Amino acid sequence: MSGAARHSCYSWAARLVVLLVALTIGRGAAVAAEFLEFVTATGAHRVEIEVARTEREREVGLMYRRSMPRDHGMLFTFPSEQPVSMWMKNTYIPLDMVFVSRKGRVTSVARDAVPMSETIIPSGPPAFAVIELNAGAARAIGLDVGDQVRHPSFKP
C-alpha cells in the first residue's frame, strides 16, 4: 500500500473513531430506560427515565444533550443518603432537579436550573437519589416536598 493510500486509510479510521466517540458523548451515559411514578396531590404521574447508577454514568448524566422528550428524565442513585451537589456544566437542557430520600420521599426540588451553569445546586437534606426532569415538569405535576416516588431503587 502506498504512503498516500495508507494515510487515507488511517485518516478515515481516525475520523470514524472521532465520530463514534462524539455520538457516544452526545447521547450521554448509555443506560437502559425504566419508569418511575411521582405521587402528588394531583395524582400519579409516570415518567420514563434512564438510571445512572455508576460513577461514570453520574458524571455524564444529561450533559451534551440538546433535548429530552416530555415526560422523560434521568434518575441518579447513590450508595447511601448523603448531601448531594449537582451542576449544569455542559448541560444544554433547562432542568428541574428532584432530591429524594432512600424511602422515596421528595426532600427538596431545585426548579429551572440554568443550562451550562457551574453554580452548585445542593440537595439541602441528605438525598439517596436525584431525578432530573425538563424544567417546568415539577410545577406541572404539582410536585412538592414529601411527595412519594415509586421505583425499585426506593425502599418505602
Domain assignment present for 155: no
Q: How confident is the model at residue 85 (pLDDT cuts 50, 70, 90)?
A: very high
How far is 131 from 33, CA to CA, in rounded Å? 14
Q: DSSP for 71-123?
A: TEEEEEEEEEEE--EE--TT--S-EEEEEE-TTSBEEEEEEEEPTT----EE-
Q: Are 26 and 37 in a shared domain? A: no
Domain carrying residue 13? 1-30
Predicted confidence (pLDDT) at residue 148 exceeds the cutoff of 90: yes
Contact, 78 vs 128, CB < 8 A? yes
Helix (H) or strand (E) holding 134: strand 127-134
Cα 115 to chain centroid distance, Å, stands at: 13
User: Backbone dihedral region of 112: left (phi > 0), alpha (psi from -120 to 50 degrees) or beta?
Assistant: left
How many domains would you assign to the chain? 2
Asked if residue 71 belongs to a domain, the reply is yes
Least confident range of 22-26, 44-48, 151-155: 22-26
Q: C-alpha grid cell for residue 98?
A: 428532584
Unique residue bearing C-alpha cell 424544567? 135
My answer on whether 15 and 39 are in the same domain is no
Which pLDDT does position 154 carry in this prediction? Answer: 96
**Could you tell me if 14 and 56 lie in one domain?**
no
Residue 56: pLDDT band with limits 50, 70, 90: confident
